[in-house]
Structure 1
Amino acid sequence: MVMARYKALFLALMAGLAGPVSAAPMSPRAALAAIAKCAPAAPCAAHLPVRVVVVTLFEIGKDEGDRPGEFQLWKERAKLTQRIPFPQGYHDLYYNPDTQVLGIVTGMGNIKSATAALALGLDQRLDLSKAYWLVAGIAGIDPAAGSAGSAAWARYLVDGDMAHEIDAREIPAGWKYGYFPIHGSTKVEGDPLAGPAPVAANGEMFALNAGLAQWAYGLTKDLNLPDDASIAAQRELYKDFPAAQMPPHVMMGDQLAAMTYWHGEKMTQWGRDWVKYWTNGKGTFVTSAMEETGIIQSLEYLTKVGRADRNRVMVLRAGSNFTMPPPGMGAAENMARENAGYSGMTAALEALYAAGSKVVGEITTHWPRYEKSAPSAP
């Protein structure tokens, strides 16, 4: 009898970890009232239905009414009015019960973003089993690939932190960089980034659902993104880069995440080579940021226990600045200039909301279609 009771408790616990307990569906507003009685991160009989999680990384000041960071436009325009306490993370959650969209601010950097995503996925107040995840943040953009204010949907996420490093003044002759893969070539002769990656990526690269990314691009590629005088002036400086001189637009482009704020022509070339290496030539470096590989790693773990679906993850990054200086300007000089304020910040935030909300709106408006399976480009 005692063993039977322990077995029942064990099975109930595992069911809670694996996903929400099956029950009669509750309206979002009723679920909000019910989960308010549950402590964060504690067992909860009620589960708030979520169709889309909008993942932002930082906010500058207040969540509304002042200079916006990544979260503010979503909170105001997507009407994320219902606050949900989230002390196990960086910032409280906000929810729209009509659209069932949930917004999170993870905090900057891979460590904060990974732990916040994992904490969110394990929160038993939420039903995230069928949710789509949209990471929407600003980024540096390669002027050889795109322009400030442009937004890029990624197929590949590449990690720029897992590596060996030798000071560039001590690297062997023939090496382009002193920063090279941990599991790459062990030969001193030849460039360690030449040729395909010798081993399968284990945290160094994540392939997203390419069909979903292409679908999102197809839905947004014809949007007219906002332009302004500040980024128009920046474009004029990059005369040797046709892609940098284009007005803001939606594009496809892969993302490199690293915790170091790097900058410069040589580092940008390293970014291009690093992405090519880890994607075996399939990916193209377009945007540089910090958080994606931590987020997707957590979502892969959550997928294994039914708390998320990594096949429903989308990454949208918009260029707030370029990853290298314009011709005739040094890297240190340009970095100092950028640290005073990114010229493309406003345009990038508007681009993220314009393209991101188009996709979120399509999913939430036609939920019976997208609940069953993730869309894919024809």
Structure 2
Amino acid sequence: MFNNKVLSLFALPLLMSGQAFADDAPIKVKVFIGSMFEIGKNTGDKAGEFQHWYERYFKNSQPITVKGAASPVFCNDDGVCGSVLGMGKVASSSSVQAILLNPKFDMSETYFMINGVAGTPPSRGTIGDVSWGTWAVDYDLGHRWAPEEGLHDGQAFIPRKGYENIRSYQLDPTLVAWAMKITDKTPLLDSEEAQKYRQRYPDDNARRSPKVLTGTHITGDTFFHGPGMSKEAQYIAKLYGADDYVATEMEIAAITQVIARTQGTTQRILSLRGSVNFDQGNPNETTLEHLDPAPGQTAGGFKETVDNIAKVGGEMTDYIVTHWNTWQNGVPPLK
């Protein structure tokens, strides 16, 4: 018969094996925070898009290297993970795909908080605004030509057939409504520099204080500027049946496509953007002058806006995590 000492020797490898299995279990991710760039370090210097998120959630987290992702992933004990994905459609979406397919993470129930800075048309937004995307619309995936070569419906763009299912995505309206309910009263930071800059524009929306709002986020790898390009972006949004265009950015349509392919749904995606510039100059400056301003003539408000993004997004993140029993199986009905 085996004595207790022998049984203990047999049991030890089994216990160690069980512990190893537990340690290797994938991290169940409740909320994934994806930013596009960081200026320097993740903490202690000038903040880019990720630093405030890192300081709020990941200061005590160790980096997890993911093959194919632009930067390490950080996760805390509450099931919140985040990473810097890279700017533009290809860099950001390939990072998301690498993270989603990595066995270190269980993202079967994850909410995606895709965020960053953006531009906004002065007719609809202002510096420091934070907007939740109701639609993700790709600015490309069509035919575009020089205006002098002939206009179609007043525009030099028509969509190309075959992209109907990936050129625009309506993000879950109930989830967006929840986000507004939780965050629309969030006090936003502002700066004297931005306040002065706004007065160059005649639009009421451009001149007001920043707020939380909703609308279409237009994705394009081109930094388009000028009233003509802004009008075209609005034209594309309306052509696809989307809401008014409020933010120009470079990633969300591509990231949404990757999530849709891998997760089979887009119902847990939040697009959050903070406006740091107008998409056109004021009536007294040319587009080139707007793109290359004289020293001291920039919009200002970048520091405050990246703080606003994380503040607004953090409120929604915390709400989901705190009420996980309600949110785990999907977006609950709006109360």
Residue in 1 that maps onto 2:301: 344
Aligned ranges 1:236-255 → 2 under 5 Å: 236-238=199-201, 240-255=202-217
Residue in 1 that maps onto 2:126: 147
Deviation per CA, 1:2-45: give whole Å up to 9, x if none: xxxxxxxxxxxxxxxxxxxxxxxxxxxx899824xxxxxxxxxx
Structure 1 residue aligned with 2:58, among 64, 71, 79?
79
Residue in 2 that maps onto 1:294: 254
- Given the alignment of the two structures, is residue 176 of structure 1 paired with residue 154 of structure 2, yes or no? yes
Structure 1 residue aligned with 2:75, among 95, 115, 124?
95
- Amino acid aligned to 2:23: A
CA distance in 1, matches of 2:267, 2:303: 31
- Given the alignment of the two structures, is residue 157 of structure 1 paired with residue 136 of structure 2, yes or no? yes
CA distance in 1, matches of 2:68, 2:47: 24
Aligned ranges 1:1-378 → 2 under 5 Å: 34-35=23-24, 46-80=25-59, 81-97=61-77, 99-172=78-151, 175-183=153-161, 201-238=164-201, 240-279=202-241, 282-304=242-264, 309-337=265-293, 343-378=300-335
- Amino acid aligned to 1:324: Q
CA distance in 1, matches of 2:233, 2:294: 19
**TM (normalized to structure 2)?**
0.89
- Amino acid aligned to 1:258: G
Report % sequence identity. 27
Whether the aligned pair in 2 keeps the contact of 1:214 and 1:376 (CA below 8 Å) is no
CA distance in 2, matches of 1:77, 1:33: 27
What 5-or-longer segments of structure 2 have no aligned partner?
Answer: 1-18
- Amino acid aligned to 1:179: F
Q: Shift of the alpha carbon at 1:87?
A: 3.1
Residue in 2 that maps onto 1:193: none
Whether the aligned pair in 2 keeps the contact of 1:135 and 1:314 (CA below 8 Å) is yes
Whether the aligned pair in 2 keeps the contact of 1:320 and 1:345 (CA below 8 Å) is yes
CA distance in 1, matches of 2:20, 2:292: 49
Residue in 2 that maps onto 1:9: none
Whether the aligned pair in 2 keeps the contact of 1:215 and 1:375 (CA below 8 Å) is no
- In angstroms, what is the RMSD of aligned CA positions? 2.1
Whether the aligned pair in 2 keeps the contact of 1:157 and 1:255 (CA below 8 Å) is yes
Whether the aligned pair in 2 keeps the contact of 1:320 and 1:347 (CA below 8 Å) is no
Q: 1:342 to 1:49 in 2, by over 3 A?
A: farther
Q: 1:142 to 1:341 in 2, by over 3 A?
A: same
- Amino acid aligned to 1:320: V
The count of residues paired between Structure 1 and Structure 2 equals 315
CA distance in 1, matches of 2:20, 2:53: 22
The list of structure 1 runs, each at least 4 consecutive aligned residues, that deviate by more than 6 angstroms after superposition, is 30-33, 338-341
Q: 1:213 to 1:31 in 2, by over 3 A?
A: farther
CA distance in 1, matches of 2:294, 2:249: 15
**TM (normalized to structure 1)?**
0.79
Deviation per CA, 1:334-355: give whole Å up to 9, x if none: 0112999652311220110111
CA distance in 2, matches of 1:361, 1:55: 16
Q: 1:54 to 1:106 in 2, by over 3 A?
A: same
Greater displacement, 241-250 / 199-208: 199-208
Deviation per CA, 1:228-247: give whole Å up to 9, x if none: 11210111111x20011111
CA distance in 1, matches of 2:207, 2:222: 27
